[in-house]
Structure 1
């Protein structure tokens, strides 16, 4: 199986960072996700409950980022992937997490991780 459900360029706000000034503000984070899911059943049934609901997943990410505080984006990415896999029964996920503006001379910096159940 190599079907992928993806979310690209999901922007959310979070309190994230190691410096004191970062802990007092919200910063924009940008997520790209590729989630492995067998799309044959949802395609055959035209039933949203049989697929990965990208709106529900996007809302979950936004809520997760607004209710948790981390210093490192590595920690956020790791914990969020674990929660997504558990909550949405995702077989595997590749997440790219960007923190635009963290390095003024770069478009973005971040991490890319791949996790599976």
Structure 2
């Protein structure tokens, strides 16, 4: 299966378990890789058969605006489920990085792979 990816997508969201985090929006950096058959789009140079990056970004941004999770793990799980349902890709890999979450590290985060069931 072919892969389509979006790398380094940044969104601001309410994320964190500590009291001081509950009142501020923080940046998350997302790397997304989707299984997607690009042959139909490539055969006819047809945008309507391609995975629409702009629509994916808008979906992720809308999700991040309303999200209010304590854990990056929860953000990742719920976003992955939402993307699979909305776009119908067979599988996705999602890496969520929270820069500045630990002073000794550049970033911390999770990486998950999910598929439609």
How does the TM-score come out when normalised to structure 1? 0.96
Q: Offset of 1:49 from its aligned partner?
A: 1.6
Which residue in 2 is equivalent to 1:11?
10
Q: How does 1:16-95 map to 2 (within 5 A)?
A: 16-95=15-94
1:66-87: CA deviation from partner (whole Å, max 9, x where unpaired): 1121010100100100010010
- Runs of 4+ aligned structure 1 residues displaced above 2 Å come to none
2:78 and 2:88 map into 1 onto residues whose CA distance is 15
In the alignment, structure 1 segments of 5+ residues that lack a partner are: none
Q: Secondary structure at the match of 1:21?
A: helix
Q: How many residues align?
A: 116
How many Å separate the matches in 1 of 2:49 and 2:113? 23
Which residue does 1:116 correspond to in 2?
115
Please tell me the root mean square deviation across aligned C-alpha atoms, in Å: 0.7
Deviation (angstroms), 1:31: 0.1
Look up the match of 2:105: 106
- Give, in angstroms, the shift of residue 7 of structure 1: 0.2
Q: Give the structure with the higher percent strand.
A: 2
Describe the SS at the equivalent of 2:103. coil
